[in-house]
């Protein structure tokens, strides 16, 4: 039996940081004890699946006691890592991590890049981007970095133009050209796949697309390019714990040939190794 504890969480906003820290505090020190198991917070797909592959196939031989806890939002894994409830997390990109630290005063640092989940534009009503009608409604993630990535994806495919230099901080207010007069619905990232029946199209993070039985490499109208993409998903820890032998061992296993083959075989291009 897989020793994976599944935690159902609700979407939290940055203002709930204090509540998150309090709720997670009960397990503090347990996860940071280097003599115990390394507890890693992860999104279910593909992060927890990759970690479970490591746990079931590589960890024991490497002398690593690994425990995986699943979370379904993009806030709790960082608050739990900050307060020591978990020893590491695996769910986010470096731009998202930097933005989270800045806004919440947390001290999470990257250990190693593992994979890229290309952001994609999906629709239940059209089969090509060009078929989107004037005035169509497009759902986009509402967190700073993923919304910026979503708008950059639309801009790269000629649907909108953006102010120069806005990067992943872009919001709809930065749109300078909108030839199709697209309307935008800003939603929590996890809910964008469920919005597909209510909007004309939605930009969906790769992990949430896979959870919704979408195949990014097949179903996306347009997909982020992996080449030169800074948005790799990474293993992260609280600053000061980078030298934990358990963390170093997990980083080594996550970037092994065995994990690369697992990613290639299981996700067929919907998730791409970054190492």
The pLDDT assigned to 33 comes to: 65
Burial class (CB in 10 A: 0-12, 13-18, 19+), 101: middle
Q: Domains (ranges, CATH) in the chain?
A: 4-118+229-273 (3.40.190.10), 120-223 (3.40.190.10)
On the question of a cis peptide bond just before residue 46, with omega within 30 degrees of 0, the verdict is yes
The pLDDT assigned to 270 comes to: 85
pTM: 0.74
**H or E element at residue 203:** strand 201-204
275 residues of the chain, pLDDT tens digit each: 333 333 333 333 333 443 344 344 444 455 556 779 999 999 999 999 999 999 999 999 999 999 999 999 999 999 999 999 999 999 999 999 999 999 999 999 999 999 998 999 999 999 999 999 999 999 999 998 899 999 999 999 999 999 999 988 999 999 999 999 999 999 999 999 999 999 999 999 988 998 999 998 899 999 998 777 889 999 999 999 999 999 999 999 999 999 999 999 999 888 999 99
Rounded to the nearest 10 degrees, what angle do helices 17-24 and 76-83 cross at?
Answer: 60
* Distance (Å, whole) CA 116 – CA 26: 33
* Distance (Å, whole) CA 110 – CA 101: 12
């Amino acid at each position: 039996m897989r020793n994976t504890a599944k935690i159902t969480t609700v979407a939290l906003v940055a203002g709930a940081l204090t509540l998150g820290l309090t709720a997670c505090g009960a397990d503090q020190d347990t996860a940071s004890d280097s003599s115990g198991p390394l507890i890693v917070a992860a999104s279910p797909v593909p992060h927890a699946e990759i970690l479970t592959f490591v746990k079931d196939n590589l960890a024991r031989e490497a002398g690593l006691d690994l425990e995986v806890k699943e979370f379904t939002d993009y806030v709790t894994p960082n608050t739990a890592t900050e307060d020591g409830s978990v020893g590491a997390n695996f769910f986010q990109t470096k731009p998202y991590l930097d933005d989270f630290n800045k806004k919440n005063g947390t001290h999470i640092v990257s250990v190693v890049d593992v994979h890229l989940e290309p952001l994609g534009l999906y629709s239940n009503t059209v089969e090509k981007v060009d078929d989107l009608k004037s005035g169509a409604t497009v759902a986009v993630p509402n967190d700073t970095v993923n919304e910026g990535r979503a708008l950059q994806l639309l801009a790269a495919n000629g649907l909108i133009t953006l102010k120069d230099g806005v990067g992943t901080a872009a919001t709809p207010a930065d749109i300078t050209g909108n030839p199709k007069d697209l309307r935008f619905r800003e939603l929590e990232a996890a809910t964008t796949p469920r919005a597909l029946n209510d909007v004309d199209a939605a930009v969906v993070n790769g992990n949430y697309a896979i959870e919704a039985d979408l195949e990014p490499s097949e179903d996306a109208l347009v997909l982020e390019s992996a080449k030169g993409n800074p948005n790799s998903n990474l293993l992260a820890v609280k600053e000061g714990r980078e030298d934990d032998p358990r963390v170093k061992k997990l980083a080594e296993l996550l970037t092994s040939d065995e994990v690369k083959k697992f990613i290639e075989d299981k996700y067929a291009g919907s998730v791409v190794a970054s190492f």
